[in-house]
Chain A
């Protein structure tokens, strides 16, 4: 089975966020980056499917030069090869531009299954996978919690709202977006990290793929959200703070 897994590099969780000079994105300097967390579940699922059914796992990203380290992380965890569509514009790109890059690179090779995360932690579009499927003409299913690839058709457990699920089946090739928590992700081993250096790593520019990086969803302005409620911030520490909170809850909010 030829599996592609789409991984995005995002800023590390709990980073301090500062606006850039244009006020349209955040400043990159001084930040650390990591694999978008939902994508690590997708990668793990790809590795498990390969272990079960055989085949090849390619990790692919569209991103700036620094995103290569996220591909290397995927290789260290067990992906067989990496693909990087490299351009700085993918940092702020909209879903169409990103999906186009991924589609153009994947279309060059045989593909049975494409996995993506559900949502990126930075832009939070929750759409790139579905658009990628549409551009490649593939069927898709989203928010997947289990994959059975043993039959002709893929059988998947799809999460619905409020604790409901549904089984869906679809023909291959197909694209699935993976829900967090579907599996327990593995860590890279020292051996894995060493091996990763010798694994094939393919780089493309958008021009190599004959595509541009169009921007059709444009951020005009980025800003701090307004408070929906008047939050009363309690200060102090230890016992004093605890007592003042309990007093507020008893005598002001009257909920204790």
Chain B
């Protein structure tokens, strides 16, 4: 019996959440009294396996096969099925990356097991995991238990565990290469190399102050108000995804998991609810101010200063106060 953590890498580079899920795995393995195994999946991954073996783990398993050079759901699910059949873990943890969204539900379903996605925490009652998930876009949390036997499958949300809390070990863990058998003709998806669209013309990562608008801005006609405030503060203007989806601001002003990651001194969130995919892009800001008319909006969980109110009252008042100072 063991806890299996599935790390993620691409072309020899770690996904940063690999270490977050490793932290989750170390905590789980301690709470359950079960050894921790980390899996590295890919082609030519010896050095990554060696690197992670310096962490406190009982074993690293390398699933190394030329057909795993780039991610496909069929290839990765089959490789992990073979590893799971071999290792018989009781808990399998993933980082909740885009790749895991694509892979883990398929893998778990193919073994007729449920998969708890995007957990923000794992508690243990009598050694049994209780997963905490966000519901209703983060407005509520739920304690979730899973029936259907082992292994239990779950993924942890970005930022829920701290990568810098991973414990290292003086003696490296053993590395085992599992002989994965894959028939490339059974991989139905073909992938091409990742690309970026027109390289970001606006780089928001060095902005010191950001005024960011969400769907609370309601109408493209209201964007100039936010622009005016940004100007008065010497700030860059940014937005949540729906604003860019609607074409109200260009895509290169989008903050979040599919946009830019920023860490300004001041982030002023106007009419943004605080969905995790937005929050991962801005929670590193030194000071966060949120203006939202719903006091239950999850953005207030991470805000330093909160104003429960209508942004159309607050924004003009701020502009006026700033202008009066000139």
Which residues in A have some Cβ–Cβ distance to B below 8 Å?
11, 14, 17, 19, 26, 94-96, 99, 121-127, 130-131, 133-135, 139-143, 153, 159-171, 180-181, 215-229, 231-234, 237-239, 241-243, 245-246, 248-249, 253, 255-256
Q: Pick from A168, A220, A232, A242: contact of B320, CB below 8 A.
A: A242
16 contacts between A and B (CB under 8 A): A14-B294, A95-B115, A96-B114, A121-B136, A124-B133, A161-B98, A162-B259, A163-B196, A165-B194, A166-B194, A217-B146, A231-B300, A231-B304, A233-B305, A233-B308, A241-B307
Q: Which of B117-161 contact A (CB under 8 A)?
A: 117-118, 130, 133-148
Tell me whether A131 and B105 are in contact in the complex, defined as CB-CB below 8 angstroms, given that A159-B98, A242-B321 are known contacts: yes
Q: Pick from B193, B302, B318: contact of A166, CB below 8 A.
A: B193
Tell me whether A126 and B141 are in contact in the complex, defined as CB-CB below 8 angstroms, given that A134-B105, A134-B106, A170-B190 are known contacts: no
Chain A residues with CB under 8 A of B130: 220
Number of A-B residue pairs with CB-CB distance less than 8 Å in the complex they form? 232
What is the minimal beta-carbon distance from A68 to any residue of chain B, in angstroms? 23
CB of B309 closer than 8 Å to a CB of A: yes
Tell me whether A237 and B313 are in contact in the complex, defined as CB-CB below 8 angstroms, given that A134-B105, A248-B305 are known contacts: yes
A-contact 0/1 string along B308-322, CB 8 Å cutoff: 110001100110111
CB of B181 closer than 8 Å to a CB of A: no
Tell me whether A130 and B320 are in contact in the complex, defined as CB-CB below 8 angstroms, given that A124-B135, A160-B98 are known contacts: no
Are B286 and A255 touching (Cβ within 8 A)?
Answer: yes
Chain A residues with CB under 8 A of B314: 241-242
Chain B residues with CB under 8 A of A139: 73-74, 188-189
Closest residue of A by beta carbon distance from B254: A163
CB of B110 closer than 8 Å to a CB of A: yes
**Please, how many angstroms separate the alpha-carbon atoms of A146 and B154 in the complex?**
29
Q: Pick from A121, A126, A153, A225: contact of B117, CB below 8 A.
A: A126
What is the minimal beta-carbon distance from B277 to any residue of chain A, in angstroms? 9
CB of B219 closer than 8 Å to a CB of A: no
Q: Which of B248-268 contact A (CB under 8 A)?
A: 257-261, 265-266
* Stretch of B27-35, B165-173, B238-246 contacting A (4+ beta carbons < 8 Å): B238-246
Are B192 and A233 touching (Cβ within 8 A)?
Answer: no
Are A222 and B320 touching (Cβ within 8 A)?
Answer: no
Q: How many residues of B contact A (CB 8 A)?
A: 83
Q: Pick from B118, B141, B147: contact of A225, CB below 8 A.
A: B141
Are B189 and A249 touching (Cβ within 8 A)?
Answer: no
CB of B183 closer than 8 Å to a CB of A: no
Closest residue of B by beta carbon distance from A10: B136
Closest residue of B by beta carbon distance from A225: B141
Are B136 and A17 touching (Cβ within 8 A)?
Answer: yes
**Please, how many angstroms separate the alpha-carbon atoms of A55 and B320 in the complex?**
57
**Please, how many angstroms separate the alpha-carbon atoms of A126 and B105 in the complex?**
9
Sorted from nearest, which 8 A-B pairs have the closest CB atoms? A181-B245, A127-B105, A242-B317, A130-B105, A139-B188, A242-B321, A255-B265, A134-B109
Q: Pick from A166, A227, A241: contact of B192, CB below 8 A.
A: A166
Chain A residues with CB under 8 A of B109: 96, 99, 130-131, 134-135
Q: Pick from A94, A133, A159, A253: contact of B304, CB below 8 A.
A: A253
CB of B296 closer than 8 Å to a CB of A: yes
Chain A residues with CB under 8 A of B116: 217
**Please, how many angstroms separate the alpha-carbon atoms of A199 and B41 in the complex?**
49
**Please, how many angstroms separate the alpha-carbon atoms of A255 and B234 in the complex?**
12
CB of B191 closer than 8 Å to a CB of A: yes
CB of B303 closer than 8 Å to a CB of A: yes
Closest residue of A by beta carbon distance from B149: A216
Are A249 and B101 touching (Cβ within 8 A)?
Answer: no
Q: Pick from B73, B141, B148, B318: contact of A223, CB below 8 A.
A: B141
Closest residue of A by beta carbon distance from B148: A216
Tell me whether A140 and B106 are in contact in the complex, defined as CB-CB below 8 angstroms, given that A234-B307, A237-B309 are known contacts: yes
Given contacts A233-B306, A238-B317, 9 further A-B contacts (CB under 8 A): A127-B105, A140-B73, A141-B189, A163-B196, A163-B260, A165-B195, A222-B141, A245-B305, A246-B321
Are A127 and B289 touching (Cβ within 8 A)?
Answer: no
